[in-house]
Amino acid sequence: MFVLHVALQGCLRTENVDYGLTADTGGHIRYLLDLVAASARAEPQPRIAVATRGFRSVHGAHYEPGEGIEDGVEILRFATASPDYLAKEDLWPEVPSFAEALIAWIERQPVRPDFLHAHYADAASVAALVEDRLGIPFVFTAHSLGRVKAAAMGASDDARLARRIAIEETALARAALVVASSRDEAEVQYAGYEAYDPGRIRILPPGSDLARFGHAEACPRLEASIARFLREPDKPALLALSRPVAKKNLPALVRAYGESPELRARANLVIMAGNRRDLGDLDAEMAGEVREILALVDRYDLYGKVAYPKSHRPDDVAAIYAFARDRRGIFVNPALNEPFGLTLLEASAVGLPLIATDSGGPNDIIEMCGNGELVDPRSTQAIAAAALKILGDDALWDRYAAAGAVAVAAFDWDRHARRYHDLLGALQAGAGPAAAPEQLLICDIDNTLVGCADCIATFGEWHREQDGLAFGVATGRSFHSAMAILEQQNAPRPQVMITSVGSEIYHLQPDGTTYRADADWRAVVSRGWDRAAVHAALAGFEGLVPQAPLEQRSHKLSYFSDGDREIGARVRARLEACGLRCSVIHSHGRYLDVLPIRASKGTAVAFVQAHYGLAPDAVYVAGDSGNDIEMLRTIPQAIIVANFSDDLASLPGLQHSYVAREKYARGIIEGVDHFRRKARGASWLRAL
Ligand code: GLC
Ligand code: MG
């Protein structure tokens, strides 16, 4: 395997990188170099080269055009039209000359790269030119997206930004694979693009140097700098650590604390909000945030309970987490949106339970580690309730603290590089078009396929022997959330994925790796669906709380419900009163999904069955809970695993189902065997 990375920006070298030397020598260069270094350690070792721009020196450091080996990596610096360093906004005119130089180089090579990997939009326009001429496919990592920037800046007629967005559109439309770092990036940030196709995006979390945080130790100097604020410094500390900018939402945490007498009694609050010598030196936004924090301390009279040191050293960070950990505290990140959440990972590695915003990357971290609570960052009550829940339950604190260790192994560059090269290898090999299946097995994921590690291992072995049986999943999760859990559990790769409770369908492509959304199904469910009207009709509905933003999809609105068993009927009535016909699906007594009237796991399975041209007796479905009822009801060969909930086995419409004696994935195998035996028995009888 030969992968050629392309990155035009910054002062790129493999040793002694001057991060921050220019505004474009930052995060994405670090990412690329870490990936390249981990790739060099991968087995079998791929050939890796990095192509970048050559230019005259910057501040005495040299980046002249030429080829060389640096630190074991081939670095190719190509001359372009301009001989000088150019900031990323000014790079576009260099794209054609860079592409020409790169194409000429590739044509001189005895072995051509299997893939180009474009980092950032400008490199993608180079990769597209190379693909046009040489037919080499490319992988795309955006690193940051023009549309996200445009949204943050408000309406803008910035022509350069518009061009960048247009190039990102082309990159998304053409890339063989798009690599994202988090679900937020894959499912929210990219969703604004016309060419958005979740099935071609994979989430590969970047590594981060977390191991050193595992051994974080207290530091007396730092402890003193915090303790001097506190009357009882040994109480548990709610810790926040971020720059004081508006989107980090630090004042909300002070409010949550100030408003809750119980929380004030139980814990201290420690806010490490960057460094300041004098408030007047900070820019207006940061100064404003710090002033608001100070004003809130005063308003709620929190003196002696809140620490807000003026400064800390960069190498104090581990000790700051250790301070909170040693006092059985909690790390809190109340940001309005947190794209990734490095501090949450660091706190996890140290062994601190988390309370994190439900908007952005923290979803992935908490799902993976199971080490804390997600909250709506605008709800001070939710923040306080989560803190009291963890502080009031020692066993829960211990469990969350221990679970953070998972992060160290998961967010690791070697793991990233392994998965990355596996994906590229699979793409390169291609699976070829799948043979037309003779039978189809569709399984729910949570508590059916997944939930018992041994069972799923047995299922995997069993599945490998089932020629002609196409395997698919039907889940309440989104595509990427489903993908994440399937990969984490080593589940077989599904041929078809019915996601978001049947509102979306994805088919595995002949490359054996990426998926394509079923546009016909989207058209079916879109008929008569007025998302905005549903959203408005249920705003403030008693007993419903919206789920996190990531759970909301274009054709699925999801809520948490209270214990009311009749809530489904009440919601249906409200929607009907507003002239809206929808599927309302209640499960586990706590989830409530509102979908287009034609969408459910049942209708989606029927659609897939027709897609494969299969007879009803060639299809099996398996589930455990309320959101499976529709597919269990409509499919004759329905399997209910032993660990079911929502009274499934006694529902009148499900009496044809087979209730397995075995739980989870073993129950699925048992059910398929049962129906196969039955079918053999029937055909044997017919033959008599
Ligand atoms: C999954 C989804 C959630 C949905 C639930 C029930 O947990 O993430 O949004 O409400 O399934 O369908
Ligand atoms: Mg389930």
pLDDT 10s digits, 121-136:
999 999 999 999 999 9
Residue 578 region by backbone torsions, left for phi larger than 0, else alpha for psi between -120 and 50, else beta = alpha
Q: Give the length of the chain.
A: 688
How many angstroms separate the alpha carbon of residue 445 from the centre of ligand 1? 11
Q: Is the CB of 600 under 6 A from ligand 1?
A: no
Average pLDDT over residues 539-554: 90
What pLDDT score does 371 carry?
97
Q: Is the CB of 25 under 6 A from ligand 1?
A: no
Which amino acid is present at 504? E
CA 646, 370, 256: angle at the middle one, nearest 5? 95
* CA 320 to each of CA 22, 160, 313, 404: distance values in angstroms, whole numbers, following the listed order: 30, 41, 10, 17
**In the predicted model, is pLDDT for residue 255 greater than 90?**
yes
Average pLDDT over residues 415-435: 87
Average pLDDT over residues 190-201: 93
Average pLDDT over residues 17-23: 72
**In the predicted model, is pLDDT for residue 12 greater than 90?**
no
* CA 688 to each of CA 673, 679, 684, 685: distance values in angstroms, whole numbers, following the listed order: 23, 14, 7, 5
Please indicate whether residue 604 or residue 205 has the higher confidence score (pLDDT). Answer: 604
What pLDDT score does 580 carry?
97
CA 86, 90, 93: angle at the middle one, nearest 5? 105
**In the predicted model, is pLDDT for residue 321 greater than 80?**
yes
What pLDDT score does 155 carry?
61
Residue nearest to atom 3 of ligand 1 (CA): 476
Which amino acid is present at 34? D
**In the predicted model, is pLDDT for residue 607 greater than 80?**
yes
Q: Is the CB of 502 under 6 A from ligand 1?
A: no
What pLDDT score does 489 carry?
87
Phi, psi of 277 (to 5 degrees): -90, -45
How many angstroms separate the alpha carbon of residue 140 from the centre of ligand 1? 30
**In the predicted model, is pLDDT for residue 434 greater than 80?**
no
Q: What is the DSSP string of 78-92?
A: E--S--S---GGG-G
Nearest alpha carbon to residue 163 among 185, 147, 175: 147
What is the per-residue pLDDT across 456-467, written as a single tens digit (0 to 9) for each? 999 999 999 999
Distance CA 165, CA 576 (A): 40
Q: Which of 367, 479, 590, 591 to mutate to test the pocket of ligand 1 (most atoms within 8 A of CB)?
A: 591
Find out whether 115 and 137 touch, Cβ atoms under 8 Å. Answer: yes
Please indicate whether residue 350 or residue 683 has the higher confidence score (pLDDT). Answer: 350
Angle between helices 380-391 and 394-403 (to 10 degrees): 100
* Residue spans of alpha helices (H) in 261-311: 261-266, 284-299
Ligand nearest to the CA of 476: 1
Q: Which residues surround ligand 2, an ion (CB under 5 A)?
A: 444, 446-447, 624-625
What pLDDT score does 196 carry?
93
* CA 69 to each of CA 181, 414, 510, 564: distance values in angstroms, whole numbers, following the listed order: 29, 22, 37, 66
Q: What share of the chain is helix, strand, coil (3-state, %, to 5)?
A: 45, 20, 35
Ligand nearest to the CA of 474: 2
Which residues, 6+ apart, have CB-to-CB distance to 680 below 8 Å?
none
What is the overall mean pLDDT for the chain?
Answer: 92
What is the per-residue pLDDT across 32-84, written as a single tens digit (0 to 9) for each? 999 999 998 888 889 999 999 999 887 777 788 888 887 778 999 999 999 99
Each domain of the chain, given as residue ranges in start order, spans 2-203, 211-410, 431-522+600-687, 528-596
What is the per-residue pLDDT across 155-172, written as a single tens digit (0 to 9) for each? 667 888 888 899 999 999
**In the predicted model, is pLDDT for residue 23 greater than 80?**
no
CATH class, 528-596 region: alpha beta
**In the predicted model, is pLDDT for residue 27 greater than 80?**
no
For residue 673, what is the DSSP state?
Answer: H
Average pLDDT over residues 191-200: 93
Are 2-203 and 528-596 the same fold in CATH? no
Q: In what order do the strands lie in the sheet with 582-587?
A: 544-546, 557-561, 591-596, 582-587
Please indicate whether residue 468 or residue 342 has the higher confidence score (pLDDT). Answer: 468
Mean pLDDT is lowest, of 15-24, 511-520, 644-653, for 15-24
**In the predicted model, is pLDDT for residue 13 greater than 90?**
no
Find out whether 149 and 162 touch, Cβ atoms under 8 Å. Answer: no
pLDDT band at 477 (very low <50, low <70, confident <90, very high): very high
What pLDDT score does 156 carry?
65
Label each residue of 39-52 as H, E or C.
Answer: HHHCCCCCEEEEEE
Q: Is the CB of 363 under 6 A from ligand 1?
A: no
Average pLDDT over residues 410-417: 90
Mean pLDDT is lowest, of 144-158, 306-320, 333-347, for 144-158
Phi, psi of 138 (to 5 degrees): -135, 150
What pLDDT score does 29 carry?
84
**In the predicted model, is pLDDT for residue 433 greater than 80?**
no
Please indicate whether residue 272 or residue 313 has the higher confidence score (pLDDT). Answer: 272
Ligand nearest to the CA of 624: 2
Tally of CB atoms within 10 A around 338: 27
Q: What is the largest CA-CA distance in the chain?
A: 95
Question: What is the third-level CATH fold of 2-203?
Answer: Rossmann fold (3.40.50)
**In the predicted model, is pLDDT for residue 118 greater than 80?**
yes
* Residue spans of alpha helices (H) in 503-547: 519-526, 531-537
CATH architecture of the domain formed by 211-410? 3-Layer(aba) Sandwich (3.40)
Phi, psi of 344 (to 5 degrees): -65, -35
Mean pLDDT is lowest, of 148-152, 500-504, 507-511, 569-573, for 148-152
Q: Is the CB of 358 under 6 A from ligand 1?
A: no
Q: Is the CB of 183 under 6 A from ligand 1?
A: no
CA 475, 481, 487: angle at the middle one, nearest 5? 95
What pLDDT score does 281 carry?
86
**In the predicted model, is pLDDT for residue 411 greater than 80?**
yes
Average pLDDT over residues 91-95: 93
User: Do you find a cis peptide bond into 546, omega within 30 degrees of 0?
Assistant: no
How far from the centroid of its chain's Cα atoms is residue 12's Cα?
28
Q: Is the CB of 587 under 6 A from ligand 1?
A: yes
What CATH number does domain 431-522+600-687 carry, 3.30.565.10, 3.40.30.10, 3.40.190.10, 3.40.50.1000?
Answer: 3.40.50.1000
Mean pLDDT is lowest, of 1-10, 56-65, 557-566, for 56-65
